[in-house]
Amino acid sequence: MCCTSTYRSHRPGDRQLACKRTTIESIHEFAQRFRLDAIPVERRRSHLPAAVASALPDDGVVVFTCLDEHSDTAAFSARYGFGLEDCANTLILKYSSSRGEHFAAAVTLGSRRLDINGAVKAKLGAKRLSLARREVATEITGMEFGGITAFGLPAGMRILIDAAVVERSYIVIGAGVRETKILLAPSTLTHLPLVEVAPLTLPPQ
């Protein structure tokens, strides 16, 4: 995401600060345009699983409430006016390799379909690959089904992000529970541990 600040300074630190402020202001303006019910930073922990709250940066993200009935991607898109291409889902995958059985997370846009048996399988080096069962996904993440997010996942879990995700200006992603969501710039996700960005979805129809 580019910085559009008109701030003038010869000191790199000042310029960096100006860009940071512009980005934060921009994301909050974006949230206000969609009338999102933002949660103040100091109150986030009461709305998020502990692991998610600890993994989230204080700046550059907007955490907001969402009714359970509007939590699923299609319903959220219809209620708030976001395109499916600006809503990201985090799926938990179970796969086996020469080193045994593992779990991984895959982040993809609501408008895309994962190429599970092609690109994803190859990226993981998997012999067998499938979506984790609902009860398994919630147990290993400690999150609600339909609200699973890339933040606060178990240590050592690989996180695959489809390349199309990072091309968006802002996306909405789950927050660990169904009644809370997160608005952020996709670049924020790339700072998480064990993240890999690669083309993982089938071409749009």
Render pLDDT for 57-110 as a digit per residue (tens, 0 to 9): 999 999 999 999 999 999 999 999 999 999 999 999 999 988 899 999 999 999
pLDDT(113) > 50: yes
Per-residue pLDDT for 169 more than 60?
Answer: yes
pLDDT of 19 higher than 60? no
Instruction: Give 4's pLDDT tier (boundaries 50, 70, 90).
Output: very low
Q: How many CA atoms lie within 13 A of 172 on its CB side?
A: 30
Per DSSP, which regions of 58-118 are E strands? 61-65, 88-97, 100-109
pLDDT band at 23 (very low <50, low <70, confident <90, very high): very low
Proportion of the chain in helix, strand, coil states, percent, rounded to 5 = 35, 25, 40
Q: How far is 193 from 196, CA to CA, in rounded Å?
A: 9
Average pLDDT, the chain: 89
pLDDT tier for residue 127 given thresholds of 50, 70 and 90:
very high
> Strand, helix or coil at 114?
strand
Global pTM reads 0.85
Question: Whose CA is closest to 30, among 185, 186, 189, 190?
Answer: 185
